[in-house]
Amino acid sequence: MFRKIVIGLFLVVASSAIAQHGTKSPYSYYGIGLTEFRGTVENKSMGGLGVFSDSIHVNLQNPAGYAGLRLINFNVGASNKAVNQKNESDSQNTSATTLDYLTMGIPMGKLGMGFGLIPYTSVGYDFYTEFPEGGVTKFDGNGGLNKAFLSLGYQVTPELSLGVDANYNFGKIENTAVTQRPEMQYGTRVINKSNLSGFSFNFGALYKRMITENLELTGSVTFSPGTNFTSENFRNTASVTILPNGIFAIDDRDVAIDDTEFTFPSEFTIGAGISKPKFWGVGVEYTNQKSSNFTNRSLAIERVTYKNASKFNIGGFYIPNYNSFGKYFKRVVYRAGVRFDQTGLAVDGHDINEFGISFGAGLPVGRLFSNVNIGVEVGKRGTTDFGLIQENFVNTFLSFSLNDRWFEKRLYD
């Protein structure tokens, strides 16, 4: 029964997941949108830390972790993002609820396999710019890039595992700009659409070694080479009449523009952790992305430059007593962490950075170490200085990590 439920959920949710994108940020106007976090609620609750892997959870950040799986794992996660956006004179509140990932991990002895679907970048914005002499341009956009992946991890030695993700990235982005000036009878509307696609890879290594009778040292490394994506571009222009009940196009024309290729930058992550297995663990992680090499798609956007991005995470977990079956809350996994992100995006020469502090818990359910994971992150992106926008956010997370045995050889029927 569990197997049928998992497969059914995977097919139903996957059919709608690719249409969901989880941001309403003006910073998603640039490039191909804001990069979504590539990890589970368990990772998010530890400040994004991906160093630790075990036998009952998938590790979406390091494919080598699949080699340690001992049970079939189905994992689905969602989040709600509540954001207060403000500048020096005004503020507004927005929110978005999205499906964050849908994955399955399958153990096969020393080999582990995983596959799933993750939103990779998100575009979602709605803002306007006023002209000093009068008039306004309204901008809105939606879409993003998704990633369907197949992962393999192999346990080379009892201490070392290697892995690889093969990813097919695809999605659509639509940007609309409507300009109206008081001296002109009609306004103008420009719609840019892009269909994005491309393959990418992520390689990982995971090393675990007991350094004392109770303490384990963990090292983690991943590398994603830079890759070129294809963008099929379409443009439509129109003269429009703007009325209270909507926009009506008067002269609607498709404009031929060239398809383009854009470069998605390489990324390198290294981390280390120390733990007492099944009791507690603390780790740190550093990521560098060569986003200074990033090139845009069909839109030439002024005022923006890209620098190398970096991220620093520190976090950990604590389990009071994992086998205390008489006291439920002693088996709960408590998690916490902090992250500092230099996004690589610079507007008018000013860096857009992020900070977040997170907390969470893994609540045991069922008989085979399944759990419900909940978490919350509080943080900010950007600044109100230099005429920019600061976003203060509260993200809440929820996931179901369900385990089962599918390939047992039964002695009795």
Chosen CATH of 2-404 out of 2.40.160.60, 2.60.120.620, 3.10.20.30, 3.30.365.10:
2.40.160.60
Predicted model pTM: 0.87
Locus of tokens 């640039």: 30
**Residue 61: closest CA among 188, 186, 179, 149:** 149
Name which of 191, 218, 189 is nearest 205 in CA terms: 218
CA atoms of 344 and 30, how far apart (whole Å): 12
Rounded CA gap, 34 and 381, in Å?
11
Query: pLDDT tens across 261-273, in order?
Result: 888 889 999 999 9
Distance CA 163, CA 67 (A): 8
Reported as half-sphere exposure (CB side, CA atoms, 13 A), residue 340 has a value of 5
- Contact predicate 26/125, CB 8 Å: yes
Q: pLDDT 10s digit of each residue in the chain, 413 long?
A: 445 544 455 444 544 444 455 678 888 888 788 888 889 999 999 999 999 998 889 999 999 999 999 999 999 999 999 999 988 888 889 888 888 999 999 999 999 999 999 998 899 888 888 888 788 888 899 998 999 999 999 999 999 999 999 999 999 999 999 988 887 888 889 999 999 999 999 999 999 999 999 999 999 999 999 988 999 999 999 888 877 666 777 788 888 888 888 888 899 999 999 999 999 999 999 999 988 766 655 556 667 888 899 999 999 999 999 887 778 899 999 999 999 999 888 888 888 999 999 999 999 987 778 899 999 999 999 988 888 899 999 999 999 999 887 655 554 44
Task: For Cα atoms 225, 349, 311, give the angle at the middle one, nearest 5 degrees.
Answer: 40
**CA nearest neighbour of 40 among 62, 71, 69:** 62
How confident is the model over 166-188, as pLDDT tens digits? 999 999 999 999 988 887 888 88
Task: Determine if residue 143 is left, alpha or beta; phi over 0 gives left, psi from -120 to 50 gives alpha, anything else beta.
Answer: left
Residue 367, phi then psi, degrees to nearest 5: -100, -20
Non-local (6+) Cβ contacts of 86 within 8 A are: 92, 384, 389, 390, 392
Single-letter code of the amino acid located at 402:
L
- Give the residue carrying structure tokens 């590790």: 59
One-letter amino acid for residue 248 of the chain: F
As a whole number of angstroms, the longest Cα–Cα distance in the chain is 85
Tokens 């070129």, residue located:
228
Average of per-residue pLDDT values in the chain: 87
Sign of CA pseudo-dihedral 298, 299, 304, 310: negative
Q: Which DSSP letter does residue 266 get?
A: P
